[in-house]
Amino acid sequence: MAARIERGRLLAIFAHLFSTYGPQDWWPAKTPFEVMVGAVLTQHTSWTHVVRGLERLGARAPLTARAILALPETELADCLRPVGYFNIKARRLRAFCAAYLDQGEQNGLSRLTTAELRHRLLGVKGVGPETADDILLYAFDRPVFVVDAYTRRIFSRLGELAGNEGYETIRHSLETTLGPDIALYNEYHALIVRHGKEICRTKPRCGECCLADCCAHPGSSSQG
DNA sequence: TACCAGGAGAAAA
DNA sequence: TTTTCTCATGGT
């Protein structure tokens, strides 16, 4: 069954988050390619660790697909040590760089439709739905809502999701309800991550944070 | 000391 | 097809 969330409620939650945290100015990267590298590295890892990895990598080679591919995998893995899962991520990053060059880099990929681009990204080993959608939204400015663990957790706590919906179900529901709004998706996901990092880990129950007012919704279960 | 973090793929059931 | 396991460092 498809998840259904009211548009007004989604916008109210967004307004609460925005008034609490302000603009997040995402993604924290200098170039679209750096966004892509960050998206691969941040899998199941906090951004502070990714920054360290990027700094080590940047000290060893320019942040380009060719330069990364020119590094031996063991050396790349050593750069990525602070990120965690460094052996796996070195393999995944190399696979991504190879695919990126193969598909014509930024210019070649930019010509594809969002659906085609998403399909190509998901075809790269190590790029799953969330990583692909991070790249689509923040590197290619495509109207794709990124669903991550925090998105699922927060909307579940607010009673908007059961919590066991599939990734595509949640994404489709959010995109259908909100309409294709790149700026809104960009800020919403950034705010969800900010809220998740600051609040969800320390306050286990819904209603103990800036979203308390939103918890008054009749459908809210408020069970953490 | 133990738990968890902005996932994804492979293996097992 | 679904569930479980593995990858790994570093902060709390």
Q: How far is Cα A132 from Cα A140, in angstroms, rounded to an integer?
A: 11
The token pair at A139 is 């590197």
Please work out, in degrees rounded to the nearest 5, the angle formed at the alpha carbon of residue A103 by the alpha carbons of A99 and A105.
Answer: 90
Nearest nucleotide (C1') to alpha carbon of A86: C8
Average pLDDT estimate for A125-150: 96
A217: pLDDT strictly greater than 50: no
Average pLDDT over residues A117-135: 95
Domains of chain A: 7-25+146-216 (1.10.1670.10), 32-138 (1.10.340.30)
Q: What mean pLDDT do residues A80-109 have?
A: 96
- CA–CA gap between residue A167 and residue A159 (Å, rounded): 17
* A24-35 per-position pLDDT tens digit: 999 989 999 999
Separation in Å: B1 C1' and A110 CA: 49
Structure confidence at residue A216 as a pLDDT band (50, 70, 90): very low
pTM: 0.92
Footprint of strand B on the protein (CB under 7 A): A 27-28, 38-39, 42-47, 84-85, 88, 124-132, 134, 148-150, 193, 196-197, 201
pLDDT > 50? residue A223 = no
Q: Which nucleotides of C are covered by protein (CB under 7 A)?
A: 7-11
Residue nearest to nucleotide C6 (CA to C1'): A85
Nearest by Cα to A181 from A152, A144, A148, A132: A144
> If 0-12 CB within 10 Å is exposed, 13-18 middle and 19+ buried, where does residue A113 land?
exposed
Give A142-195 pLDDT, tens digit per residue.
Answer: 999 999 999 998 888 888 888 888 899 999 999 999 999 999 999 999 999 999
Question: Which residues of the protein are close to the nucleic strand C, CB under 7 angstroms?
Answer: A 44-45, 48-49, 81-82, 84-89
pLDDT at A158: 85
**Straight-line distance from CA A197 to C1' B5, in Å?**
9
